[in-house]
Structure 1
């Protein structure tokens, strides 16, 4: 014995909204980013601050997408030391407040054969917001460290996207 539930107005509205959203996103060319959306890059060498979490994340992402990272590669990518700015948002009286974290780095890309710059000291940044309880110091520190790691991954993605849009100098 099967009991069929009548289609309610709320359920019909939810289904219609989902279908309309999918059609709208498909119509505007929206596509989920995946590994195939990353650009193919020539062999690169990383220089500058190569010990930071950003540099490690960048090297891992480049290797994952099949870009060779070697010291004698024809293109040098020089990274400055990344800086993280933490700006507290909200009033002083509240124990839990929102923080905006921004990670910045300066990137240069130089061709090894003729020392021509394809990118010279370009600042690249990304930011995020997190809510932190300033009274819980241990949890606060771990949340900030986790957000910094996330920023490093996002910034590495932005650097790779920027490298993919470069044209080699003549």
Structure 2
């Protein structure tokens, strides 16, 4: 690489933030509210995902009430498994994806601010298919981690969609 090319690259890198700030660009999350309003939960409220979602709401300074002005509808979470690698191997990688739909509705005028969007998160684990007890423990632990990640993703999505009053 020529010296001139390096100088151009450095100059472009130095000017990029200046140009982006001039057009009104801001990173996501820089002006997110620190607390969410109280929410009402509908749909699948008994799943591990729902329990994790409620826990994260409470840690964010919000809560769940049947009379809340905003209704979050959670769909039943679906865990999809995809086996990676060839047949006949005792230890294989598995890709696990947890998906759930979410909707956000304002109770006062029944306006949907988020109309049934499906969010997902995934992970890969290596499992020895011959060790059934360990296999179930690994899958259970992975599902718990995916529920935590998806609950956080749902909260972030709700903050970005709604115009909280």
Sort the TM-score into its range (normalised by shorter chain). Answer: 0.7 to 0.9
1:40 deviation in Å? 2.3
* Per-residue CA distance 1:87-134 (angstroms, 9 max, x = gap): 010111210000000000010000000000000010100000000000
Cα RMSD for the two superposed structures: 1.7
Corresponding position of 1:136 = 131
In the alignment of these two chains, the number of paired residues is: 134
| 3-state secondary structure, aligned to 1:103 | strand
1:122 aligns with 2:134: no
Q: Taking structure 2 as the reference length, what is the TM-score of the superposition?
A: 0.78
| Structure 1 unaligned spans of 5+ | 1-27, 29-36
| 3-state secondary structure, aligned to 1:92 | coil
| 3-state secondary structure, aligned to 1:62 | helix
Runs of 4+ off more than 4 Å: none
Tell me how far apart the structure 1 counterparts of residues 98 and 121 of structure 2 sit (CA, whole Å): 6
Corresponding position of 1:146 = 141
1:102 aligns with 2:97: yes
1:71 aligns with 2:66: yes
Which structure 2 residues correspond to residues 13-162 of structure 1 after superposition, within 5 A?
39-162=34-157
| 3-state secondary structure, aligned to 1:85 | strand
Tell me how far apart the structure 2 counterparts of residues 67 and 39 of structure 1 sit (CA, whole Å): 10
Q: Tell me if structure 2 keeps the 8 A contact 1:86–1:101.
A: yes
Q: Tell me if structure 1 keeps the 8 A contact 2:39–2:72.
A: yes
| Structure 2 unaligned spans of 5+ | 1-16, 18-31
1:38 deviation in Å? 7.7
Q: Tell me if structure 1 keeps the 8 A contact 2:54–2:63.
A: no
Q: Taking structure 1 as the reference length, what is the TM-score of the superposition?
A: 0.75
Tell me how far apart the structure 2 counterparts of residues 102 and 153 of structure 1 sit (CA, whole Å): 13
